[in-house]
Amino acid sequence: MKLGSKIKRLRIARGYTQEELADRCDLSRSFISQLESDKVSPSVETLERVLRVLGTDLKHFFSDEPKKIVFKKNERVPVYELPKGVKIDILMDGIEDKEVDAKIVELEPGAQTEQEDYHDGDEFGFVIEGSVEIYIDGKKYRANEGDCFYYSADCIHYLRNPGKEKAKILWLQTI
């Protein structure tokens, strides 16, 4: 793949127009156009600036190493120092530029996650088994097995298992 087409692919994946990329890099739109069509060769400094805006760096941009696709069950990373009755496993470890954090959360009856304060991102949960209560800024919502939930994390939030059986949730957070 040529340099220009790879930059164009990254730009489109970020949802930028050529003009938006140019503005963010303090370059002209015509330069970005010429760069994407391999009509100009950027200096290393200019290329680093463009790649930084596109969320990568020289090392990753030129790496031929394929990104990891499959994450095995035995590669999960447990989270320690959690409240009693809460178990969390991180499903994907070792990815530098990921935009989502995926976890399996298990709550024993009556257990709850720690209360999280406001932060950037969104959170999504799918209840694999059992039921959970989702507390968002003091308001309670209930999700049962097979249900899912979604909210912006700009609120105080936590999960609680109100049931008599263990609850298991697939939890995704944008980061």
Query: Which residues, listed in sequence order, are joined to residue 13 by a DSSP beta bridge?
Result: none
The predicted model scores a pTM of 0.66
H, E, C per residue of 62-124: HCCCCCCCCCCHHHCEECCCCCCCEEEEECCCCCCCCCEEEEEEEECCCCECCCECCCCCEEE
Q: Which fold has domain 73-174?
A: Jelly Rolls (2.60.120)
Domain ranges of the chain: 3-62, 73-174
Write the pLDDT tens digit of every residue in 8-49.
999 998 889 999 999 999 999 999 999 999 999 999 999 999
pLDDT top residue among 93 and 140: 140
Closest to 49 measured CA to CA, from 40, 62, 58, 41: 58
State the pLDDT confidence band at 1, using cuts at 50, 70 and 90.
low
Write the pLDDT tens digit of every residue in 28-37.
999 999 999 9
Amino acid 24: pLDDT:
92
129 near 167, Cβ under 8 Å? yes
Per-residue b or e along 4-38, where b marks 16 or more CB atoms closer than 10 Å to that residue's CB:
bebbbebbeeeebebeebbeebebeeebbbebbee
Angle between helices 3-14 and 29-36 (to 10 degrees): 120
State the pLDDT confidence band at 95, using cuts at 50, 70 and 90.
confident
Question: Mean per-residue pLDDT for 54-70?
Answer: 81
Write the class of the CATH domain 3-62. mainly alpha
State the pLDDT confidence band at 69, using cuts at 50, 70 and 90.
confident
State the pLDDT confidence band at 160, using cuts at 50, 70 and 90.
very high
Write the pLDDT tens digit of every residue in 105-138.
999 999 999 999 988 889 999 999 999 999 999 9
